[in-house]
Amino acid sequence: MKKFISISIGTALLVSCAFPKLSKYAAKPDLTSKAKYDFTKAKIRENGKGFAIDMSVLGKMPKRVALVSFYVDDPGITKVSGSRQTGKTYSTTNTGGDNAQVFANAFYNLGLEPMKTAFSKYGIQILTPAEFLTDDDKKQAYNDFVVRHTKLNELGKKIGAYFKNAGNAGTGIEVTEVAGGYKLLKINKPNTAIYKKKAVGSGNLSGCRDGEMIESMGYDLAKSLEVDAVIVVYNSQLADTKWSKTRFFLAAVNMQMFGPNPTPLKEGKKDNNSYNKGLFYCGTRMAFKKGLVINPKIKDEAKKALNDKNNDIAYKNMIAGCANKIGTYLQTELAKKK
């Protein structure tokens, strides 16, 4: 679909100067405030019903947390030309599967260590597959795991996809690719690209009440891997083609943590959509009002190399910011118990 990109995130291609560059965030090492909460904050009540952890009930920080998925998701941009009288034509642009795979691997290689370092300050150890898939049972559980969804959420996805496709003559849009060594555990709801800003919405899982998804991630997966919680990182990305050149934009960096419900369901009570064995522990989304250009056109090789280096630093700052936001939230909530 697109010309294949190199591993370097800063590939030099044509781009409008109207959009901010990813590299500008290299000068902002503390991006904690830029990350906003993006999860359902309906804490469990005394009976355990709810969607989010109450740290005073859990009573401790999650120590061992498995990074179970790391991926790039591009909802695609569809341009509509013509009119009803002349006939409409539809042109869809996205990052492309091969390119998305490259970006997923590049972002992962950049973000893993800053993420581990940031969480370690809160007593949280982030585990990679090599560290949590320690026996055949865990490997099979991870490989066989499927994210569940409530029937209502599945129906909503189908209806949304229908109207989305109906508006662009059925052209394919979304592309999602996971970093090497990871299973794609797609948790985000479909994003809608804001074409003029090359951006996505400020929230995604805020208000989400998909109990099946939350429980399957926070309980089924966490328990089978024998960890205190699981975490997923996904990057919302867009691509635009103009003058036969491709521009890539980072629209949002997202991080979600799920874990078991510490309050068991009372004996004789039945599970329902208001009681979940798994819960949101926290979730953050660092979304940008205008998409950040990853690959601006830079002719000077020295300046291009500097931009590429700053791209790397900027992304590390973003991952650390999301991790610090989660760590601070959990720590602050836990301190309320004392």
Per-residue pLDDT at 192: 86
pTM: 0.88
Mean pLDDT of the chain: 87
- pLDDT above 70 as % of the chain: 83
Q: Report the pLDDT averaged over residues 137-143.
A: 98
In a domain, 6, yes or no: no
In a domain, 3, yes or no: no
Per-residue pLDDT at 241: 78
In a domain, 287, yes or no: yes
The residues facing 253 across adjacent strands are 235, 286
The residues facing 78 across adjacent strands are 92
Grade residue 93 by pLDDT with cuts at 50, 70 and 90.
Answer: confident
In a domain, 304, yes or no: yes
In a domain, 17, yes or no: no
List pLDDT tens digits, range 253-271: 999 999 999 999 887 666 6
In a domain, 13, yes or no: no
**Per mean pLDDT, which range of 6-20, 61-75, 99-113, 136-150 is the poorest?**
6-20
- How many C-beta atoms lie closer than 10 Å to residue 140's C-beta? 12
List pLDDT tens digits, range 268-301: 666 665 899 999 999 999 999 999 999 998 999 9
User: How far apart are alpha carbons 329 and 260 in whole angstroms?
Assistant: 17
Q: Report the pLDDT averaged over residues 168-190.
A: 84
pLDDT beyond 90 at 110: yes
Per-residue pLDDT at 87: 61
Per-residue pLDDT at 215: 96
Q: Report the pLDDT averaged over residues 143-161.
A: 68
User: What is the chain's Cα-based Rg?
Assistant: 21
**Structural domain for 208, as ranges:** 22-335
Per-residue pLDDT at 2: 39
Residue 199 is classified by DSSP as: B
User: How far apart are alpha carbons 281 and 51 in whole angstroms?
Assistant: 9
Please give the backbone phi and psi of residue 292, each rounded to the nearest 5 degrees, phi first. -90, 125
The pair of three-digit structure tokens given for residue 124, joined into one six-digit string: 């949280």
In a domain, 8, yes or no: no
List pLDDT tens digits, range 200-212: 999 999 999 999 9
In a domain, 320, yes or no: yes
Q: Report the pLDDT averaged over residues 37-50.
A: 95
Tally of domains in the chain: 1
Is residue 70 within 8 Å of residue 182, measured between CB atoms? yes
pLDDT beyond 50 at 1: no
The residue with tokens 């999650």 is 62
User: How far apart are alpha carbons 278 and 84 in whole angstroms?
Assistant: 49
